A and B are shown apart, each in its own frame.
Chain A
Amino acid sequence: MRAPRLRTAAAVAAVAALALAAAGCASKRDPDASSNKPEKLVFGVAGDPKTLDPALASDGESFRVARQVYETLVQPEAGTAKIIPGLATEFKPDSTGLVWTFKLKQGVKFHDGTDFNAEAVCFNFNRWFNFKGLLQSPDVSSYWQDIWGGYAKNEDPKLLPSLFKSCTAKDASTVEIATTKVSSKLPAALALPSFSIASPKALQEFKADEVGGAADNVTYPDYSMKHPTGTGAYKFVEWDRPSKVVKLTRNDAYHGQKAKIKDLFFQTISDLDARKQALRSGTIQGYDLVAPQDVKVLKGEGFNVLTRPAFNILYLAMNQSGHPALANPKVRQAIAYAIDRKAIVDSKYPDGSSVAINFHPSSLEGYNENVTKYEFDTAKAKSLLAEAGFASGLTLKFGYPTEVTRPYMPDPKGIFELMKTNLEAAGIKIEPVALKWSPDYLNKMSSGNDHHLHLLGWTGDYGDAYNFIGTFFDRQKDEWGFNNPQLFAKFAEADKEADLQKRYALYKELNKMLLDFLPGVPIAHGPPSLVLAKNVTGVKASPLTDERYYTAEYTN
């Protein structure tokens, strides 16, 4: 009987020894790996890019790569939403506001060695303007449609006429872009990565426009998967799709300050906890979308948590066609007074968040302090409800999304519950409507009439207030269910005002009108955060999530 027991022990010991040997090897390897780290930075991201051709992208992950590889005519100043020169050193509209002249930076080369010049700029604009077939799908060229409306030849009658008229190369370093009407979107929208200037040679060589397949079977061309070619501080190396990593390397011929870290990797780790553990274990040197509750913890551990200035808003929408009571301004005011927004921000949002009093962040021109603020006042809410004829009570459906967090909405259910308590204290009974964020919630709240109150928000694309308030309120929408021609006319007036100062004054007026009319209640601005390893510095958090990594460096 003795021998088998010994054998048991021997087997257990062997397994243990193997495990230890493996572990030993692993820990021996680590110093090796970290000794060459200073030339490499791995940044963890939540999702894969959809495409590397920014003209066909609308998602943050595609843009993150594009911002390193490409450049735009104008760009946001590092860390702010203010527009500064990019590939264009100067830019200004003519007296009519219809024609913009851009003076281009000279001596700039694309990664394939070809020259960046006025012709290249016009080649890009003409490419976008002449998109055909599937390239006209709002899913494919979504930002072109958002900013410029339609194309040279609209294939869908629902598309708007194009705002873009023509692009002319006056000389090698001067470009004139003509528009069909004056628009608030220029010049700020040109900083969007979708309007990055790509090498015409690469676009042609790798057939950038050959989006193939049938209607239900779209495929992207080689250019957008394997050959993005811009002028940025990093050059594209490889998108290893099976390993979910995009590899970039320093552009040694860059026209500006060259990247300090040679190799930059964006690795997709979709699970938030997995990103956090990868950072702590040192396999990645940073990640985006830090959970609000992790901000303090990671800071405490010594990581560089960078909080972006909030460039978003959460609002409570009130659908005036959904319930007759909501068409009554007094009821809407009562709801605004009933909600304790400060308590919501204090308990549900990370440091650096603020209560919203306009429908856009205060960093944008046109922000108006002097609007009706609807400070928390349950008694006032009750009396307004009584005046409106609902003293005996009112029942409203209240929608909130599940399985989602957004920087502007870190805890939808928690926020909903606080509001429900507030509203019920004022005498409004709430019927919760909890739906899965995508697709159910978004579909239901933005179409039809079967919704009363709901939470929704927006993260800005570019530094102009119209991108917030215009997107929400410049025309009749099912989300809000009102028709206010006076308001819509004011928006149209602001949109086509070429003089920036006059336009900002109109935005101020609009903000005042909006808070008097009160189609919804602005709730909060929540700053999203990213985190970098303890020894990585030099990255500036941008309200537009426009972080450039060529300034990143390792310190001791």
Chain B
Amino acid sequence: MFRFIVRRLLQLIPTLLGLSLLLFVWLHRLPGGPETALLGERGTPETRAMVRHQLGLDQPLWVQYGRFMKRLLTGDFGNSIDTKQPVMQEFFDRFPGTVELTIAALIFAIGIGIPLGYLAARRRASWLDNLSVGGSLVAVCVPIFFLGYLVKQLFAVNLGWFPPAGRQDVTINSTHVTNFYVLDGILTGEWDAAWDAIMHLVLPGLTLASVPLAIIVRITRASVLEVLGEDYVRTARAKGLTERRIRGRHILRNAMLPVVTVLGLLTGGLLSGAVLTETVFAFTGIGLFIRQSISNLDYPVLMGFIMIIALIYVLVNLLVDISYSLIDPRVRVR
């Protein structure tokens, strides 16, 4: 197990190196540059050239790449061209927001998706089954930005149940320790702030959860249906085990394997979904910042953020692989 994890971690090095090179060349090949974003319609060709020179963008690509790698080896991604703040700081200022949002979305997706998929399979062809199959089709089809807009209009503007934008009411006095606002509220005993942060997570969390929720419902349903027909389930029943034990030990545990596999991939997908969700809900996570950095061609931010996200993606998948062996001991042997 240990060797497996170390081997997987070592594989990261060539992956990230290759990615950095590809990204660097690709980003710097894009037409235009950050100097225009910085100067806007006020820039003249001369001032633009001056800024390019000062940003070092007029030097050969390999020189720029060398400088980038040199800094990277010391754990420094450089500074944002736009905000002039260290990329790492920008990332860690915003990452907790995206993590909170992702967790909220996962809670919705798993908490609703697995029970719903299970029930749909057990009550096959019932109204609940039809509703969840049909509903999941709709959820996958509706674009996030559109769904987000509708949800906001209904629950925030018309009904006023939830706040429409941001991570926390900015007029609330709150102390930020970890930048995980819910956690911060709990740690500092500012229950008001924690509750407010949770309220701010509901609508974007649900919106972001829509696609994974639909997928989880469908996969759970299909997987449970398959397991239901297995001999061991019949045997368990024949042995006279309680329905609860059959459900927990024999059906769900076996049906969960494909769901967990997909979860790993979905969590990665949530990060990309976060770009749209965060934009629609003005939710201040990394997604919103990436979107801005793309329009400004803020190379250091894009390089840094994409590298870190790639790293997280690979690590999440490693965790998924490890969790297999916990759910299914047979995987450990291999």
Contacts and interface: CB of A to CB of B under 8 A. Distances in A.
B82 interface: yes
Nearest to B162: A26
B50 A156 contact: yes
B36 A443 contact: yes
B130 interface: no
A300 interface: no
Interface string B288-307: 10001001110010000000
Contacts of B159: 23
B164 A216 contact: no
B157 A280 contact: yes
Contact of A270 (B37, B195, B288): B288
Contacts of B42: 58, 142, 146
Interface in B3-46: 31-46
A345 to B, nearest CB: 21
A347 interface: no
Contacts of B296: 438
A134 to B, nearest CB: 7
A30 B163 CA distance: 10
Contacts of A295: none
B149 A283 contact: no
Counting chain B CB atoms within 10 Å of each CB, which of A26, A218, A443 scores highest? A26
B321 interface: no
A265 to B, nearest CB: 5
A280 B160 CA distance: 10
A283 B93 contact: no
Contacts of A446: 43-45
Given A242-B93, A242-B284, A247-B170, A27 B50 contact: no
A238 to B, nearest CB: 10
Contacts of B156: 277, 281
Contact of B41 (A8, A15, A146, A456): A456
A263 B172 CA distance: 11
Nearest to B172: A33
Nearest to B44: A446
Interface stretch (B212-220, B257-265, B275-283, B324-332): B275-283
A269 B281 CA distance: 8
Contacts of A58: 42
Contacts of A443: 32, 36, 48
Interface in A207-250: 213-220, 225, 240-245, 247
Contacts of B284: 242-244, 268
A145 B153 CA distance: 46
Contact of A139 (B35, B79, B165): B35
Interface string A246-282: 0100000000000000010101111101110110111
Contact of A22 (B50, B176, B202): B202
Interface band, chain B: 35 or more
B85 interface: yes
Contact of A242 (B67, B119, B176, B295): B176
Interface in B47-62: 47-48, 50-51, 53-57
Contacts of B221: none
Q: Which of B36, B64, B171 has the most CB of A within 10 A?
A: B171
A360 B279 CA distance: 36
A11 interface: yes
Interface in B145-204: 149, 152-153, 155-157, 159-171, 176, 179, 195-196, 199, 202
A37 B46 CA distance: 49
A447 interface: yes
B194 to A, nearest CB: 13
A489 to B, nearest CB: 21
B86 interface: yes
Contact of A278 (B112, B164, B176, B199): B164
Contact of A218 (B84, B165, B168): B84
A270 B282 contact: yes
A442 B36 contact: yes
Contacts of B31: 439-440
Contacts of A214: 56
A137 interface: yes
Given A22-B202, A137-B51, A242-B97, A50 B82 contact: yes
Given A137-B51, A242-B179, A267-B170, A217 B165 contact: no
A220 B169 contact: no
Contacts of A30: 160
B131 to A, nearest CB: 10
A221 to B, nearest CB: 10
Nearest to A39: B171
B67 to A, nearest CB: 7
B279 A281 contact: no
Interface in A276-298: 277-278, 280-283
Contacts of B56: 214-216
Contact of B115 (A11, A137, A438): A11
Contacts of A265: 170-171
Contacts of B300: 216-217
A278 B82 contact: no
B169 A277 contact: no
A8 B128 contact: yes
A42 interface: yes
Contacts of A25: 195
Contacts of B128: 8
B249 interface: no
A478 interface: yes
Contacts of B115: 11
Contacts of A107: none
A158 interface: yes
A63 to B, nearest CB: 13
A219 to B, nearest CB: 5
Contacts of A245: 170
Nearest to B116: A11
A456 B41 CA distance: 8
A23 B161 CA distance: 5
Given A139-B51, A274-B282, A447-B45, A439 B167 contact: no
Considering residues A30, A225, A281, which has the most beta carbons from chain B within 10 angstroms of its beta carbon? A281
Contact of A216 (B78, B83, B195): B78
Interface in A430-447: 438-440, 442-443, 446-447
Contacts of B33: 439
30 contacts: A11-B115, A23-B162, A26-B161, A26-B199, A29-B195, A29-B196, A50-B84, A137-B50, A138-B43, A138-B50, A138-B51, A139-B35, A139-B39, A139-B51, A213-B84, A216-B78, A219-B84, A240-B170, A240-B176, A243-B168, A243-B170, A247-B170, A277-B152, A277-B156, A278-B165, A283-B165, A438-B40, A439-B31, A439-B37, A456-B41
Interface of A: 4-5, 8, 11, 15, 22-23, 25-27, 29-30, 33, 36-37, 40, 42, 47-48, 50-51, 58, 134, 137-139, 142, 145-146, 156, 158, 213-220, 225, 240-245, 247, 263, 265, 267-271, 273-275, 277-278, 280-283, 438-440, 442-443, 446-447, 456-458, 477-478
Q: Which 7 residue pairs of A and B lie closest in terms of their CB atoms, listed nearest first? A: A439-B32, A439-B36, A216-B56, A138-B47, A269-B282, A23-B161, A242-B93
